[in-house]
Amino acid sequence: MRIDIFCLFPEMLVSPFEQSVIKRAKDKGIVEVSAHNIRDYTHDKHHTVDDYPYGGGAGMVLKPEPIFEAVEAVKQQLNVNNVPIILLTPAGRLFNQQIAQELARHSHLMLICGHYEGIDERVHEHLATDEISIGDYVLTGGELAAIVVIDAVARLIPGVLGSEMSLTSDSHVDGLLEYPQYTKPQAYRGWAVPSILLSGNHHEIACWKRRQAILSTVKRRRDLIEKANLNQEEKKWIFENSLNLK
């Protein structure tokens, strides 16, 4: 997958992709990340990227021309036409695991990061094909949001994580949080690992993990349960235990 990011502070995007899993994916040639500075696509002496809002109001607004020109130049250079162009904005659809999976199916993505107060509406309307928010809060810019989206998407691309198996048990994959995990030592400060996990009974262990995932979700994120992928028996189990599960 190739990812082009258009932003004002490309240096912010260097370090996160030079470590760990994403770095290995880049080294293997599975993921290619390229950051472009919107300021390089200005034509005036001061390299102006923003201006006062029409109609008045606080702060500055990012001008449309450098953003359109940056995206169009890279599209032309790469000879591509139908790439999703995602604007990172607090007004976008709320990012989640399902959207990460959807984006991971593309071979190329373009991300536009706003900064300061806002971005000219014509970028929303006539350039972006999608708008994503990483949460109901306002960041100083879209760069951090782009890092979050890229990280969540890249790890879903086949070959990026060591074990594809670990993806299927991730939190949020089937709408549930992940079950509790344990490693050595078997007892730590008197806290023992649940004995079922040491039993070697794979069927029993799989059932335990599923119940624990449901339990964890009910306890921590009851809002997720409504939409989770549960069978009739599991729904009945939650209903019957609903008082104990609080």
Binding-site size, ligand ADE (CB under 6 A): 12
90 is catalytic: yes
Q: How far apart are CA 174 and CA 30, in angstroms?
A: 26
Q: Which residue from 10, 16, 66, 90 is in contact with ligand ADE, where contact means CB under 6 A?
A: 90
Question: Which of 149/154 has CB closer to ligand ADE?
Answer: 149
Cα angle 100-96-130, degrees, rounded to a multiple of 5? 65
CB of 201 to ligand ADE, least distance (A): 45
| Coil/strand/helix, residue 111 | strand
Question: Residue length, the chain?
Answer: 246
Q: Which of 65, 69, 102, 117 is catalytic?
A: 117
Q: Which residue from 3, 128, 133, 176 is in contact with ligand ADE, where contact means CB under 6 A?
A: 133
Could you say whether residue 142 binds ligand ADE (CB under 6 A)? yes
CB of 94 to ligand ADE, least distance (A): 9
Beta bridge partners of 86: 111, 130
| Coil/strand/helix, residue 143 | helix
Q: Which of 170, 174, 178, 234 is catalytic?
A: 170
CB of 234 to ligand ADE, least distance (A): 33
- The distance of Cα 222 from the centroid of its chain, to the nearest Å, equals 22
155 is catalytic: yes
Could you say whether residue 59 binds ligand ADE (CB under 6 A)? no
- For ligand ADE, the nearest residue by Cβ is 145
Could you say whether residue 147 binds ligand ADE (CB under 6 A)? no
Q: Which residue from 5, 13, 145, 147 is in contact with ligand ADE, where contact means CB under 6 A?
A: 145
- Find all residues with CB under 8 Å of 202, minimum gap 6, and list them: none
Could you say whether residue 198 binds ligand ADE (CB under 6 A)? no
Going from the C-alpha of 237 to that of each of 29, 93, 113, 224, 230, the distances in angstroms are 46, 33, 45, 16, 10
Could you say whether residue 139 binds ligand ADE (CB under 6 A)? yes
Going from the C-alpha of 15 to that of each of 20, 24, 25, 27, 83, the distances in angstroms are 10, 13, 14, 14, 25
Both structure tokens of 99: 């959207």
Tell me which residues are annotated as active site. Answer: 90, 117, 155, 170
Residue ranges in contact with ligand ADE by CB under 6 A: 88-90, 114, 133-135, 137-139, 142, 145
